[in-house]
Structure 1
Amino acid sequence: MIALSPPRPAVTPIAGPASGSVPTPPSAAAMGTRKAGFYRHDLDGLRGVAIALVAVFHVWFGRVSGGVDVFLALSGFFFGGKLLRVALNPKSSLSPIPDLIRLVRRLLPALVVVLAACAGLTIWIQPQTRWETFADQSLASLGYYQNWELANTASDYLRAGEAVSPLQHIWSMSVQGQFYLSFLLLIFGFAFLFRRALRTHLRSAFVVLITALTVASFWYAVVAHQDNQSLAYYNSFARAWELLLGALAGALVPYIRWPMWLRTVVGTVALAAILSCGALIEGVKEFPGPWALVPVGATVAFVLAGANRHSHPSTSAKLPWPNRWLAAGPLVTLGAMAYSLYLWHWPLLIFWLSHTGHKHASVLEGTVILLLSGVLAYLTTRLVEDPLRYRAPAGAGPTPVLSIPWRKPSAGWWRRPTLALGSTVVLLGVALTATSFTWREHVTVQRASGKELVKLSKDDYPGARALIKHQRVPKLRMRPTILEAKKDLPKSTREGCISTFTNPALINCTYGDPEATRTVALAGGSHAEHWLPALDILGQRHHFKVVTYLKMGCPLSTEKVPLIMGNNAPYPQCYEWVGKTMTKLIADHPDFVFTTATRPWNIKPGDVMPGTYIGIWKQLSDNHIPILGVRDTPWLLRDGDPFQPADCLASGGDAESCGMKRSEALADRNPTLDFVTRFPLLKPLDLSDAVCDKEICRAVEGNVLVYHDSHHLSATYMRTMTGELGRQMGAATGWW
């Protein structure tokens, strides 16, 4: 099963929303007005609506609400709009340092607290097999490159089956953080270079520049979305236009002269679009492509509807009614703590689902999760964010901030960051970083011993021989261990001899006996590849070379629009690659093509011979190339979702409870046998009895872990299948 994104629980995992918080306390200027005291409470309310949509859609509907895009556009408006007015002012300082300090004070304290809590919950709830991923993503979150970490995971077939991370939602904060830093450098650098030359036209020139960047980013998003939507979803460049469009709205606000009726119509339509976006648009598949214009455009329209150059009220009385409605106290309150609520709700949901094993949160469970998230968000806002964010001299009036309405900042310690609180946050961040690095080093050390896996005693670790030959199994610890399993891979993976999802190249590598005259072409996806450890040994033993023609998630098939099994995402590159591969296979004319001949059913238990394989067999047969069609190994599913035996074993399961009934994974008869008379050059191979007994496919056989993930055999176990594979190949080829 191929999954470019982690498998879906009750939630849509790749739909983590943006933080939805402003990086600095908004001033009147930041709101696009010119009179002190005007504050856009309606935008606080919009943030409240957005975070409510995000949380509710995550908890109960498993869809993308569009709230992430609302947050991104608002962040661009708040931050970019302010800098447009401040940094391009001829009298302003050209130092970005104060803004960077404000960003750090605004964003990091709450993030560190939530990450520390998630670290504790990970150790308590998650199996050790998940700790490494948490360590990687914890460092990525602190370093604001979580979106790229997830993009790499999405394109890494070996990690694609991992469970949804409790930190996955922080990808959007990373996008924002990268935007803030890039925009700061861009605008201050532009001002430094052109302040004197352009003078009064400085601001207009910069607006032209970011307009061009917005168009370029949107064009890139459309292209990237068509090429690989799962990767584009996390791509900072494909998301930049959403923030830049918000910044452009900040530049337009002072010049808006709309009549009230038009502002009311625009505000009403915009709010309706935002509220209905999650129900009408499948954002997890459509964003950040053209459909993202709906929530982003609606947000910009709502911002502009509430602005009027000749009407800068100190209250919301002169706002259109949709804006006045969002300026209501409860929504403003929710918007004020949107950042913390966003940080808390996702990990609480994921940890609860992991702890209970449920695929969905019930109405009661979801309600409790949201209420607990709200309480923790309030406490985090009041006890962590505010004290470390607002710095004002004693006796000074309160800064206009997104404060919680029922609490007015008071003079004294509450408005000053305390040394104890600041030191605690710093120590938590240091401890989290050190712990993450320490665990990663521990795992590296544990896996270093995995090099000895190729030399395990056949008597101590019989593996498949315990099933085939009923060999005695001594009581020894399982190998590979749960920490070694992830890297127990074929040499072709480690040596880059399989094309990735995004690499269109055909890569040929040679194993077995490179000097041999006989050739077996190993062709197809990773389920063909995982036979390489046994084929390599057989090639050396019986003097034939094994040449690879491999691409992740791409079995040889005539399917014109292949789907990635697991998330059903289109995989057009696979079809193109298969065409090139077949041309080269026919030109190379190997003695045999070794490839998979079956696939698991998507709709019922068992396996099937896909009809799209027939065209491949016909091409090979027409060119007199024999086929070694191996029956695919069982894919481990539980309630329709893939599960990892290593996770199950780490959580206290045993070989049987972490396995699967044979009848659920395999049909009673090899489906390939029905096509032998039609294709005389097709030689079926079936090693199911080397993986499963008559009743069950266990997670461990003969002291060897069978799978390194939910559907790929470990390289160590595959080596124990060499004898049986050799017996069947010898009979099929007549070579020995």
Structure 2
Amino acid sequence: MRHASAVKRANNGTGHAPRLDIQGLRALAVGLVVVYHLRPEALAGGFIGVDVFFVLSGFLIIGSLAREAAKHSSISVPAFYARRIRRLFPASAAVLVAVLLGTVLLLPQSRWQGISADVLFSLLQVQNWHQALSAVSYAGATGEVSPLQHFWSLAVEEQFYLVIPFFFLGLVLAARRLNRAADTFIVPALAAVALVSFAYSIYLSNNEHTLAYFVTGTRVWELAVGGLAALVPAMGILTGRRAALASWVGVAAVVIPVFFLTTDMPFPGSIAAIPVLGTALLLRSGSAAAAVPWSASRVLSLRPLTFIGDVSYSLYLWHWPVIVFAVALLGRAPRIREAVLLAVLSLGLAAASYYWVEQRFRHPSSRNTGWGGHRKVYVLAMCSAVLVTVAAWAPWQVVEVKRAQLSTALSDRDYPGAQAWSERPAAVPAGMPVRPDPSVAMQDVPATSVGACGVYDPATVPDTDCWFGSQDQQAPVVVVVGDSHAGQFVDPLVAVSKKIPLRIHAMVRNGCPFALTPPRSADTVYANCSAQNAITAEKIIGQKPDLVLVAGMREDGYRKALGWHWSPESPLAEGYVQSLSRLRGAGLRVAVIADPPYPGGNPVECLQKHGKQDQCATSAAEALAGTDTLVTAAGSVPGVETIDLSRHFCRDGVCPVVIGNVLVYRDNHMTNTFAKSLAPDLAVALRLG
């Protein structure tokens, strides 16, 4: 019965007596997160504030449920969910609506559908899985990041809340069958859950740390540790000065790591145990330490900190959209003075949200505490969720109407695209709207963007997949190999194949230049890129195609877009020479396409923001800066042909974003519409037909 008495005695911070130091701890946690998001370079590990919140939630929620199970031998699931809805849903719904409004008023239409989808992911409490499967890094805000990305941590907690009352109900039923007290099983069962989750967190963090950061299973142990901190007794040793000293050790374990941890580390694996256990120690020692004037608990109980703790939930909700919208408007990260203003604005919104939204719904009147009151909470939440969904649908549908235009064939006479700058220039009618519409340009993608054809893996993609063009098995075969910039030329070749039968085999892997030297990157996803290329080269040789077309982003482009570089001992040029030499050594015809000019900034958002095409153009000197390493390598391998189509992109020292009424870029890639307009000149340059 030791665990039973533990639950009964462990009321520190989970009973009805207020714990001001808990509010101060909330302030510390949200402060770390806000500073990290505003100035990530100043507080690289500030993201661990989220881990502090997880431990806090476990401490309060699990402690409360454990006492309920011990006292009543049951758990009121409807009452539990009603409390959670009243506590969390009103403020989050207000933020979702505000983000939708801000999106429509402040952001270009190209962002509308993505953010509308994020509203639904957040509303359904699955934002963490959306982020995990999108492999989005949780770092500082940029102009393109979602203003609702931070809802991932709320999703983790909500998913935990869905399960935890049934976990306790299961323990209660087991206790009844064994004629034992319900709380006899709580601590051992919770410890077992924590250990399993912790082991999984270590495993996944060491193998897929971006995925591990967001998924629920790697975070459950943090909530469970908080619960254990509420339930396991202090054994009489954390009293007076010892408790005060323990409270400062706990603070140190939270604060010191923020200066050393980064999102590149295998987090939340074993290293997360430092702030998690520090938080648990601080929570466990708090009540006893509060009697000592110099304890951390007394410092955390100061009114300025407890006020921030009171509004911490709303502050967490509001600060990230404020930062993202500010970055989008500024076009850059906020400077120090701007960061301070954004922090003050976030705090003001949080205070308003706390007093006018959170507090209005959080505490029900006595007549609304029974089943009838709980039912009213559920109905109101469902109705509000429907209204938010309808609000999210409206901007989505505005863009969806324009997206339908992508499937409509354009007239070559009205939209000549690259042919406007061909050797025999086509006339360009005036007054035509730009196509594709900038709001849907990011969806104007090549055929290789569907399925596995853009992430070609020679070990898993069957040789019969990723074929395009003519169905005639006797038609000449063209293999397209390289990264996503190579994939841009598949659809132009498909267009050529309508006049000159061609079978096109796409062996394209986004972010993987067709070289046999690996990039220096922290991203383990691409660690095997060069090894896969070696296998791909052998597969190409075995196919004996009529032409191998190789393309890839410039080395400077990789630095700009992905932060990658190659070592002096294993340069990219050498890797290209090796792969091209293998193909030529097998007697294959090989052609290399020079990478199109690299646009400055975001051409799509610039066009939507300014409306004037000349304001979004890039100088040819900037767009063609740096050496095209693939072209250089091709020049040193006898027999490799080189194709340069840059004259279709730049003229008189300027590379515009619209040519022949067609939008040239969707980001650093061509729009598929413009790429297809290159087809006639590509066919001539490659001597096809």
* TM-score, structure 1 as length reference: 0.82
1:39 aligns with 2:39: no
Q: Report SS of the residue matched to 1:563.
A: coil
Aligned to 2:299: 325
Q: Structure 1's 591 and 34: CA in aligned 2 closer, same or farther, altered over 3 A? A: closer
Matched residue type, 1:630: I
Which one of 257, 261, 268 corresponds to residue 277 of structure 1? 257
Contact 1:525–1:551 (CA<8 Å) still a contact in 2? yes
Which one of 337, 355, 358 corresponds to residue 385 of structure 1? 358
Q: Structure 1's 698 and 108: CA in aligned 2 closer, same or farther, altered over 3 A? A: same
- Name the CA distance, whole Å, in 1 between partners of 2:626 and 2:65: 68
How do 1:433-452 and structure 2 match up within 5 A? 433-452=389-408
Can you list the C-alpha shifts for 1:74-98, whole angstroms capped at 9, x where unaligned? 11221122223323x2633343110
Gaps (5+ residues) in structure 2?
Answer: 1-6, 566-570
Aligned to 2:529: 574
- Name the CA distance, whole Å, in 2 between partners of 1:632 and 1:327: 60
Aligned to 2:63: 81
Q: Report SS of the residue matched to 1:361.
A: coil
Matched residue type, 2:227: A
In the TM superposition, residue 186 of structure 1 has moved relative to its aligned partner by 2.4
Q: Structure 1's 692 and 707: CA in aligned 2 closer, same or farther, altered over 3 A? A: same
- Name the CA distance, whole Å, in 2 between partners of 1:583 and 1:502: 10
In the TM superposition, residue 570 of structure 1 has moved relative to its aligned partner by 6.0
In the TM superposition, residue 247 of structure 1 has moved relative to its aligned partner by 2.1
Which one of 608, 612, 623 corresponds to residue 586 of structure 2? 623
Contact 1:501–1:552 (CA<8 Å) still a contact in 2? no
Aligned to 1:546: 504
- Name the CA distance, whole Å, in 1 between partners of 2:452 and 2:89: 38
Q: Which moved more, 1:181-190 or 1:138-147?
A: 181-190
Which one of 89, 107, 110 corresponds to residue 126 of structure 1? 107
Which one of 327, 346, 371 corresponds to residue 373 of structure 1? 346
Aligned to 1:268: 248
In the TM superposition, residue 195 of structure 1 has moved relative to its aligned partner by 2.7
- Name the CA distance, whole Å, in 1 between partners of 2:541 and 2:12: 70
Q: Structure 1's 34 and 136: CA in aligned 2 closer, same or farther, altered over 3 A? A: closer
* TM-score, structure 2 as length reference: 0.87
Contact 1:599–1:609 (CA<8 Å) still a contact in 2? no
- Name the CA distance, whole Å, in 1 between partners of 2:216 and 2:665: 35
1:633 aligns with 2:596: yes
Higher helix share: 2
Can you list the C-alpha shifts for 1:589-637, whole angstroms capped at 9, x where unaligned? 3333222155141699999974432222233233333322111223333
1:301 aligns with 2:264: no
Matched residue type, 1:338: S
Contact 1:501–1:553 (CA<8 Å) still a contact in 2? no
Aligned to 1:722: 679
- Name the CA distance, whole Å, in 1 between partners of 2:201 and 2:458: 16
- Name the CA distance, whole Å, in 2 between partners of 1:304 and 1:624: 73
- Name the CA distance, whole Å, in 2 between partners of 1:483 and 1:238: 37
Q: Report SS of the residue matched to 1:521.
A: strand
In the TM superposition, residue 537 of structure 1 has moved relative to its aligned partner by 2.3
1:219 aligns with 2:192: no
- Name the CA distance, whole Å, in 1 between partners of 2:539 and 2:193: 42
- Name the CA distance, whole Å, in 2 between partners of 1:183 and 1:205: 14
1:99 aligns with 2:72: no
Contact 1:151–1:234 (CA<8 Å) still a contact in 2? yes
Contact 1:511–1:539 (CA<8 Å) still a contact in 2? no
Q: Report SS of the residue matched to 2:507.
A: strand
Q: Structure 1's 592 and 293: CA in aligned 2 closer, same or farther, altered over 3 A? A: farther
1:518 aligns with 2:491: no
Matched residue type, 2:357: V
Contact 2:556–2:626 (CA<8 Å) still a contact in 1? no
- Name the CA distance, whole Å, in 2 between partners of 1:263 and 1:696: 69
Aligned to 2:89: 108
Contact 1:74–1:246 (CA<8 Å) still a contact in 2? yes
How do 1:185-200 and structure 2 match up within 5 A? 185-192=166-173, 194-200=174-180
Contact 2:483–2:552 (CA<8 Å) still a contact in 1? no
Identity, % of aligned positions: 28
In the TM superposition, residue 270 of structure 1 has moved relative to its aligned partner by 2.1
1:555 aligns with 2:535: no
Q: Report SS of the residue matched to 1:629.
A: strand
Can you list the C-alpha shifts for 1:263-305, whole angstroms capped at 9, x where unaligned? 3443222212312222211136442233222222221222223
Can you list the C-alpha shifts for 1:26-79, whole angstroms capped at 9, x where unaligned? xx9897339966433212111111111211222233544021111111112211
- Name the CA distance, whole Å, in 2 between partners of 1:604 and 1:283: 19
1:165 aligns with 2:121: no
Q: Report SS of the residue matched to 1:61.
A: coil
- Name the CA distance, whole Å, in 2 between partners of 1:201 and 1:562: 58
For the aligned residue pairs, the C-alpha RMSD in angstroms reads 3.4
In the TM superposition, residue 115 of structure 1 has moved relative to its aligned partner by 1.9
Q: Report SS of the residue matched to 1:637.
A: coil
Matched residue type, 2:526: Y
